[in-house]
Structure 1
Amino acid sequence: MHGKPDIVLPKYKTVIFIHGCFWHGHEGCRYYVVPKTRTEWWLNKINTNINNDLQYGKALELRGWKVLVVWECDLKGVDKAGFLTSIIAALKNNEEKPI
């Protein structure tokens, strides 16, 4: 398995990555703010994470896996169990974009 998916659903050949908005550079998100100290170091770290995310996602898709990304900010104030249930229900119905 490429990367470290947070959730693996082998029955649906689907992996789910839950990305922290800061660590994965969620553009336009209020939780992603570039630190004012050691800025170059942080940008290098975050950009490396972004590039790794893209590579892992492509490698998994080439192996026939569906890759879903859920951002930390999307889960704020959401019933997490219900959210996962809705993803699984969408996968059962073979929807293209379950979330």
Structure 2
Amino acid sequence: MSPRRHHRAPGPEPLDQARARSGGARVESWRDGQWLVRPVTAAAKTYRCPGCDHEIRPNAQHLVSWPADERGDLADRRHWHNGCWRARDRRPPR
């Protein structure tokens, strides 16, 4: 019987500085500009979706978006239902 060979797990990936600043959000381009978009899987409070004006209940999967330019700040974040965000071109925010 031959001896076992132990393989080292790969080291951690280098930190992507831009991704770290955006909190892991991806950039999406829409007619009204570029947006940072991040999925939310467990929220502690209720939000109102700007696409349909219905509530997003705590712990409901949804996403949060904010403008990708330097003018966007935390106050510009909006929580959306996933389907409402995908339909933004057909149903703009109310």
More helix by share: 1
- Which gives a bigger RCO, structure 1 or 2 (Cα 8 Å, sep 6+)? 1
Structure 1 or 2, whichever has the larger Rg, is: 2
